[in-house]
Amino acid sequence: MILSKLSTAIKKQVKRAFCLLLALNMLILSGCQNSTALTGKNSGIIKLTLWHGINPPPNRDVFQTLTEKFNKTHPNIQVEALYIGQPDQQLPKILTAIVGNAAPDLLWNTPTMAGKLAELQAIQPLEKWLDQSPLKAEIDPALFESMELNGHTWSVPLATNNTAIFYRPSLFKAAGITKLPQNWQELKQVARSLSRDTNGDGRTDRHGIVLPLGKGEWTVFTWLPFMFSAGGELKAGTDQTPIPQIDNPGSLAALELWSDLLKEGSAILSAPERGYELDNFIAGKVAMQITGPWTLAQLEQTKIDYGAIPIPALKRHAAVVGGEHLFLMKSSPEREKAGLEFLEYALGEEFQTAWALGTGYLPINLKSRQSETYQTFVAKTPVLRVFLGQMKSARSRPIISGYSHLSENLGRAIEATLLGGRPSSALKEAQERLAVTLDIAAASGK
């Protein structure tokens, strides 16, 4: 009885503390925005706030430099770029700001945020502006799938990428492998050949590939190309099946592939939710790892040998579009017009070339990709050709309002499989959970 009363009292204190923190957070955000707006009005300068989560820090420095260049060439518009944490940490801050009428003017985030932000009526559609801009014809056509939902364009891409399989040529040579894997069967054979006991203690200490353990977006992002390659689809197709189909033949095939790699002893798992770390790859403990071009600077610094191959295919070649977009938040006509000027700058050839050279991301602007400056860069970094080539078959993740539920349940199915569960059971359970949790009306656009 005493414990029950004490527990109730503690819960009330925690609830009061949370409400106080939320109110204080909203007050601070509102105060910051009002102060900025007032300063801009009094000085004749429109001061815009841009929230982002750009990492690693060197990439953040590149973006800051490019933002400062915009400010110098647009004296009547000054953009302040503020780092507010990684994308998966941003949602509570963004929702708090929207509720408190203290949202930033511009937001950097994954395009999968579009459905939720549109549902909240927090962002402006961009199709009228973009249709009148010559820049529309310069955007990689593969990216429009990640920009558009229910007849509107909700964001523009800041940068793009996709994943491939990085490999260690020296380890391939030592294993007698002369042909790079192009399909799933060859991938499994190569992974087996690369896995060996190097110190004679009877245990495998070098594996063919590392697979990302976890249920977060990184795991989903690196697994989805295999699902698409196997013919899988996630989008709702008919009125009878309005919920995205996690449980589909392509998903089952992709999960079975990863499961087989583990069962055969050809793969090891990353630390939980840290599948992006390259330590084992750099140390030579694994010969292959799924990652993207943003790792090139790190790999160059290590001085190790490396190459990259496209994601091996089953039924078709596939890749998943990565990279973040910029959203124009609803504010006032004057501030939105100023925000569009920054979007135009970010889409342009000059920005895109500088960003690509400084970060390893692929330019979203076709003129930038074809420019002499960028082609010279590619010639010096030939591994980029793999990622540029994959953009021709790259797919976008759904940008529906319920994507977070879709990703979470798909991630849980992948994690359960990697921890020894049956792929078919993991998918069935994930589909059932999704049916309960997904907001069907929002997901179907009703």
Q: What integer pLDDT is reported at residue 297 of this predicted model?
A: 82
Tell whether 308 and 342 lie within a shared domain: no
In whole angstroms, give the CA distance from residue 356 to residue 408.
31
Tell whether 346 and 358 lie within a shared domain: yes
Identify the three-state secondary structure at position 131.
Answer: helix
CATH number of the domain where residue 147 is located? 3.40.190.10
- The answer to whether the peptide bond before residue 56 is cis (omega within 30 degrees of 0) is yes
Q: What integer pLDDT is reported at residue 56 of this predicted model?
A: 82
Q: Is residue 216 part of a domain?
A: yes
Tell whether 64 and 110 lie within a shared domain: yes
Q: Is residue 392 part of a domain?
A: no
Structure tokens at 210: 């590392």
* Count of beta carbons in the 10 Å neighbourhood of residue 10: 10
Tell whether 262 and 152 lie within a shared domain: no
Q: Smallest Cα–Cα separation from 402: which of 112, 96, 125, 152?
A: 112
Q: Which residues contact 90 (CB under 8 A, 6 or more apart)?
A: 51, 53, 84, 109
Q: What integer pLDDT is reported at residue 42 of this predicted model?
A: 55
Tell whether 221 and 75 lie within a shared domain: no
Q: Which residues constitute the domain of residue 268? A: 164-322+398-443
Identify the three-state secondary structure at position 267.
Answer: strand
DSSP 240: S
Q: Is residue 75 part of a domain?
A: yes
Note down pLDDT in tens along the chain; length 446 residues.
433 433 444 344 434 444 444 444 444 444 444 434 434 455 689 999 999 999 888 889 999 999 999 999 999 999 999 999 877 677 788 989 998 889 999 999 999 999 999 999 999 999 999 999 999 999 999 999 999 999 999 999 999 999 999 999 999 999 999 999 999 999 999 999 999 988 888 899 999 999 999 999 999 999 999 999 999 998 765 555 568 899 999 999 999 999 999 999 999 999 999 999 999 999 999 999 999 998 888 898 899 999 999 999 999 999 999 999 999 999 999 999 999 999 999 999 999 999 999 998 999 999 999 999 999 999 999 999 999 999 999 999 988 888 888 999 999 999 999 999 999 999 999 999 998 886 544 444 44
Q: Is residue 146 part of a domain?
A: yes
Owner of token pair 């500088």: 354
Q: Is residue 389 part of a domain?
A: no
Q: Is residue 390 part of a domain?
A: no
Q: Is residue 434 part of a domain?
A: yes
Q: Rounded to a whole number, what is the distance in angstroms from the first to the last CA of the chain?
A: 48
Q: What integer pLDDT is reported at residue 227 of this predicted model?
A: 98
Tell whether 120 and 221 lie within a shared domain: no
Q: Return the H-helix or E-strand segment holding 308.
A: strand 307-309
Is the pTM higher than 0.85? no
Q: Work out how many domains the chain is built from and give that number.
A: 2
Q: Which residues contact 73 (CB under 8 A, 6 or more apart)?
A: none
Q: What integer pLDDT is reported at residue 231 of this predicted model?
A: 96
* Count of beta carbons in the 10 Å neighbourhood of residue 206: 21
Tell whether 333 and 427 lie within a shared domain: no
Q: What integer pLDDT is reported at residue 438 of this predicted model?
A: 67
Tell whether 112 and 232 lie within a shared domain: no
Q: What integer pLDDT is reported at residue 401 of this predicted model?
A: 80
Q: What integer pLDDT is reported at residue 88 of this predicted model?
A: 67
Q: Is residue 341 part of a domain?
A: yes
